Amino acid sequence: MTMQEMIAKIGSGQKTCKDLTWDESKQAVRALIEGRATPAQIGAFLLAMRLKMESVTELAAFTSAAREYAAPVPVPQGLALVDLPVYGGKQDTFHASIGAAVVAAAGGAAILMHGHDIIPNRPGPAGVLTKLGIATELAPKQAADELASKGFAYLDVALYHPSVAKFLDLRLELGVRN
C-alpha cells in the first residue's frame, strides 16, 4: 500500500476512515523513518492519525516498527522492567509520572523512562530529571548500567532514537500532538 493510500484510508473523514492493519501500520512507520514519504505526506499522515485517533493495534505496530531502528538496551537478565514513555508535552499539570517512577524505583522496581523535551519554555521530563540530579543523556549501555545499579534510567529519544524524535519535533510546526 502506498503512503497516499494509507493517508486516504485514515484521513477520508470521520464516518469513512478506517484503522490501518498491523502490517500497514508497520509499513507506514518504516516509510516515515526511511525517508520514503514526502514532507507533505508526513504532515498529512500525522494529522490524519491524530484526528482519527490511533487504535491499539496501530500503536503497538508503530512501536514494534520503530524499535527495529533503535539500538537495544542490554537490560540485565531477569530484571522485571517497567517501560514508561513520557511524551505528552505537559502544559497545565505537573509530571506525576516522574515522581511515581522515582518512588517506585526507590521501592525496588526497575523503571526505564523515555521521552523528549518538546515544548519551549516548559520543563519536560529531561529537564525535571536533570533538576533532580538524575542523568538524562545516557547511551543504551549506560542506561542498562543505571537500571542494574539504581533501578531507574531515562533515555532521551533525541539521543537514543533520533529518527523518531524528528517526528515528535513536528508538534511545534504542526501545532498539535502527533
pLDDT digits (tens, 9 = 90+) for 52-110: 999 999 999 999 999 999 888 888 888 888 988 887 655 566 678 888 998 999 998 99
What would the 3-class secondary structure string for 108-128 be? CCEEEEEECCCCCCCCCHHHH
- Other C-beta atoms closer than 10 Å to the C-beta of 60 total 14
Distance CA 19, CA 26 (A): 13
10-24 residue pLDDT tens: 999 989 999 999 999
The answer to whether the pTM exceeds 0.85 is no
Residues 48 and 29: their CA atoms lie apart, in Å, by: 14
* Cα 154 to Cα 84: distance, rounded to the nearest angstrom: 9
CATH H-level superfamily of 3-70: Transferase, Pyrimidine Nucleoside Phosphorylase; Chain C (1.20.970.10)
pLDDT the model gives residue 73: 87
Q: Is the dihedral of CA 121, 175, 137, 102 positive or negative?
A: positive
**C-beta neighbour count of 69 within 10 angstroms:** 14
Helix intervals (H) in the chain: 3-11, 22-33, 39-52, 56-67, 96-106, 125-131, 140-150, 157-160, 162-174
From CA 145, how far away is CA 103, in angstroms rounded? 19
- pLDDT reported for residue 127: 84
CATH 1.20.970.10 in the chain, residues? Answer: 3-70
* pLDDT single digits (tens) 25-48: 999 999 999 999 999 999 999 999
